Structure 1
């Protein structure tokens, strides 16, 4: 299982998130393999331990793959979630109130940004009852 948080803009213009996972049906050689989601580009970034970023929207529809570091994200309603190494953030809150984040601990946040193609279909499966709108 690969944990995934889907961050969207709701009808109220604010960011909301849903916890879930990447769908990994059985594949070859005993591996579990997702379907392919089209991407336009990938880039890498590192933020030193203790870093933070105040209120902002996602610049584009993207996947953020956390390689190291533990973060706390918050929406304007006060709802919070953590990202840990190996987690995926599917950020689609490109308008509205946005979100903010801060690094927990002293480890740097190393991540990959995968900018999705306009027609990309992310194989996300929500965990029942884990949409956070408040």
Structure 2
């Protein structure tokens, strides 16, 4: 279920990136982003809305999703799944097609911050 390794260290933060693949499907890859890396973004916003839980959807834009509270199971449209919780950065880059679903595993809330990436900006993700 979980492709994320324990290879994050003191210079990197664990990350998972949602990506588009063939036939409008979505997959994910595990990796890291470097700490103290400047993110080229103009704004961020917080959200606790859980109305999209269980609803297949693509990301509305490329963005970092920083989980503050909650443990979730994400399932991508190719059938694979992973666990997301505080300490793992999600990079939502599945901006078209079937997208992904998520469900809360622990509690009833998902507190998160979205940091939209500017068009063409590097997400600084390195696959492991």
Q: 1:82 to 1:92 in 2, by over 3 A?
A: same
Residue in 2 aligned with 1:42? Answer: 44
Residue in 1 aligned with 2:7? Answer: none
Matches within 5 A, 1:55-70: 55-70=56-71
Is 1:16 aligned to 2:27, yes or no? yes
CA RMSD, Structure 1 to Structure 2 (Å):
1.6
CA displacement at 1:97 relative to structure 2? 1.2
CA displacement at 1:85 relative to structure 2? 0.8
Residue in 1 aligned with 2:8? Answer: none
Residue in 2 aligned with 1:3? Answer: 14
Larger proportion of strand: 1
What is the alpha-carbon distance in structure 2 between the residues aligned to residue 22 and residue 79 of structure 1? 22
CA displacement at 1:12 relative to structure 2? 2.7
Cα deviation digits, residues 70-123 of structure 1 (max 9, x gap): 000001221001101121111111111110000002152110011111131111
Whether the aligned pair in 2 keeps the contact of 1:15 and 1:75 (CA below 8 Å) is yes
| Structure 2 spans left out of the alignment, 5+ residues | 1-11
Count of residue pairs the alignment pairs up: 116
Structure number with greater Rg is 1
Is 1:119 aligned to 2:120, yes or no? yes
> Where in structure 1 do 4 or more consecutive aligned residues deviate above 6 Å?
none
Paired residue secondary structure (2:101): strand
Paired residue secondary structure (2:23): coil
| Structure 1 spans left out of the alignment, 5+ residues | 25-32, 128-134
Whether the aligned pair in 2 keeps the contact of 1:63 and 1:88 (CA below 8 Å) is yes
Cα deviation digits, residues 13-59 of structure 1 (max 9, x gap): 200100001124xxxxxxxx22x2211320101146xx824100000
